[in-house]
């Protein structure tokens, strides 16, 4: 059903002899909805929707995606305009508060964030107990959980001032945490944030500054990093955001909920894809396999190989974020004076895929992760840090969605049903009588 104007058509469901009327709900844009919650009470049937292909667990005012037209908007603003004109913290305010901030409010917010980037020495100890080889996402999830222990005054999910504090603390401390994870892996001493440096400058310096040296990067470096964070800032009900909402629906605090989002994001089918893309491109380079031959492997179902960075649950045309990143990749590499043959391989792989019937028929296009890794690599980040960078970008979205859920009077604890297909009741068999 896709009525755009007027009243929505009535929806009825025929169950045997009975006809059940289902209420509908109008979207301001995109797909309207059918309310299926009373279905079980009315009919004894539950809706099966593995992978939530057609289930909206909430209404939301935050992000709009039209996957067929390749449109992404935060609070109504096109991603292309935000990527070009805004900063990451400005976009964070837009997502979390609902409106673009005034210059005064933005400055006050930046000052508040700046004040809280510091991590106490007790907190810094946790990085030394994690093994250097630990995957950064494991440490990141643990560190965010630890925040619940360090800042007890910001835990109450129903107290707006506690939520406001948790919001600021998460946004402020996450860059410091991520830079420490990197420095720990490198065996370098942890640095302190500096007041007066911008959010992105502080993050880059704390990450890359070598002992006894100054860290300097061209403006293009900071701008590209800021833009990549903006592009990742929200993506409506994706796997990690749904996890954050689900955990928060039990009124778990914001830190515990966001840490669940980090766990979901670590998966190679979600945030881990940017790391996998780079590994894939390196494999193609190191084995000297022709992109066309590699594509034959991808299409061979028995190989279980996917073209990483391609395909999306929602976008069935070019991911608008991928278009921005692709455009930036050449420019950023040139500004940084980096020549990377992986970028040439990526262009070639994309060309082969976009003209191959397998990808055309399934409407598989590059997603945001296809080119991001190449930019991060040019900046000096190892592949294992790509997903933490994604998490930093996605943080405002997780927070905004969690806050929307907590305030929603219709929200309930997330508790899906199932269709049980296991054994009916059977007698217990003692251990010595089992085959
Ligand atoms: N390479 C090869 N085939 C693919 C790919 C791919 N990357 N993606 C989907 N397909 C095929 C599937 O095999 C399936 O084929 P079939 O109809 O013959 O069985 C068809 O396209 C549909 O695929 P699904 O897995 O059903 O699509 P779904 O919407 O569930 O998955 C997903 C989306 C997980 C992103 C998938 O496209 C994928 O695995 N891509 C690679 C991983 C990736 O890049 N993830 C990042 C996602 S974006 C993000 O998190 C920011």
Which residue shows structure tokens 């055309």?
Answer: 360
Band (6; pLDDT cuts 50, 70, 90):
low
Question: Which residues are within 8 A (CB) of 33 and not within 5 positions of it... i.e. 6 or more apart?
Answer: 24, 25, 27, 56, 59
- What mean pLDDT value characterizes the chain? 94
For residue 198, how many other CB atoms are within 10 A of its CB? 15
Q: What is the DSSP letter of 366?
A: B
As for ligand 1, residues whose beta carbon falls within 6 Å of it are 269-271, 273, 298, 306-313, 362, 364, 367-369
Which residues are catalytic, by number?
312, 369
The greatest distance separating any two alpha carbons of the chain, rounded to the nearest whole angstrom, comes to: 81
From the list 93, 99, 98, 181, the residue with the least C-alpha distance to 135 is 181
* Angle of CA points 166, 169, 170, to nearest 5°: 85
pLDDT at 210 over 50: yes
Question: Which residues are within 8 A (CB) of 371 and not within 5 positions of it... i.e. 6 or more apart?
Answer: 309, 322, 325, 326, 328, 329, 343, 346
Band (1; pLDDT cuts 50, 70, 90):
very low
CA–centroid distance for 434 within its chain: 47
Query: To which H or E segment does residue 25 belong?
Result: strand 24-25
Report pLDDT digits (tens) over 287-318: 999 999 999 999 998 998 999 999 998 999 88
**Closest Cα to atom 17 of ligand 1:** 362
pLDDT at 327 over 70: yes
**Closest Cα to atom 38 of ligand 1:** 311
What is the spatial distance between Cα 340 and Cα 345, in angstroms, rounded to a whole number?
Answer: 9
Band (356; pLDDT cuts 50, 70, 90):
very high
For residue 285, how many other CB atoms are within 10 A of its CB? 13
What is the spatial distance between Cα 227 and Cα 291, in angstroms, rounded to a whole number?
Answer: 29
Q: Are 384 and 136 in contact (CB under 8 A)?
A: yes
- Ligand 1: atom nearest CA of 319 is 48
pLDDT at 2 over 70: no
């Amino acid at each position: 059903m896709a009525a755009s104007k007027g009243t929505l058509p009535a929806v009825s469901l025929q169950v045997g002899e009975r006809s059940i009327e289902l209420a509908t709900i109008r979207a301001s844009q995109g797909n309207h909805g059918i309310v299926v919650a009373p279905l079980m009470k009315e009919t004894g049937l539950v809706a099966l929707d593995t992978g939530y292909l057609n289930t909206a667990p909430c209404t939301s005012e935050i992000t709009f995606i039209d996957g067929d037209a390749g449109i992404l908007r935060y609070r109504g603003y096109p991603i292309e305009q935000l990527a070009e004109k805004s900063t990451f913290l400005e976009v964070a305010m837009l997502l979390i508060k609902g409106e673009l901030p005034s210059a005064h409010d933005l400055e006050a917010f930046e000052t508040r964030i700046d004040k809280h980037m510091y991590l106490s020495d007790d907190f810094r100890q946790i990085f030394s107990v994690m093994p250097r080889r630990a995957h950064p996402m494991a440490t990141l999830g643990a560190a965010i959980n630890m925040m619940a222990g360090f800042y007890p005054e910001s835990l109450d999910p129903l107290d707006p001032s506690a939520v406001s504090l948790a919001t600021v603390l998460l946004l402020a401390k996450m860059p410091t945490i991520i830079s420490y994870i990197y420095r720990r892996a490198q065996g370098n001493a942890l640095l302190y944030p500096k007041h007066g440096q911008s959010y992105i400058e502080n993050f880059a310096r704390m990450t890359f500054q070598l002992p006894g040296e100054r860290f300097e990067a061209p403006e293009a470096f900071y701008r590209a990093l800021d833009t990549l964070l903006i592009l990742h800032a929200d993506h409506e009900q994706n796997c990690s955001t749904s996890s954050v909402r689900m955990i928060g629906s039990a009124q778990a605090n914001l830190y515990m909920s966001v840490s669940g989002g980090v766990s979901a994001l670590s998966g190679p089918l979600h945030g881990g894809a940017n790391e996998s893309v780079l590994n894939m491109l390196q494999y193609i380079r190191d084995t000297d396999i022709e992109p066309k031959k590699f594509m034959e492997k991808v299409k061979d179902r028995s190989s279980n190989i996917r073209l990483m960075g391609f395909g999306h649950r929602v976008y069935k045309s070019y991911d608008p974020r991928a278009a921005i990143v692709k455009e930036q990749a050449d420019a950023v590499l040139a500004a940084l004076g980096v020549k990377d043959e992986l970028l040439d391989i990526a262009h070639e792989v994309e060309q082969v895929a976009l003209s191959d019937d397998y990808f055309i028929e399934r409407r598989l296009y590059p997603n945001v992760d296809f080119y991001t890794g190449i930019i991060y690599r040019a900046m000096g980040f190892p592949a294992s840090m790509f997903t933490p960078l994604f998490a930093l970008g996605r943080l405002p979205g997780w927070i905004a969605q969690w806050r929307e859920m907590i305030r929603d009077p219709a929200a309930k604890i997330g508790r899906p049903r199932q269709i049980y297909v296991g054994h009916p009741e059977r007698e217990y068999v003692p251990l010595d009588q089992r085959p």
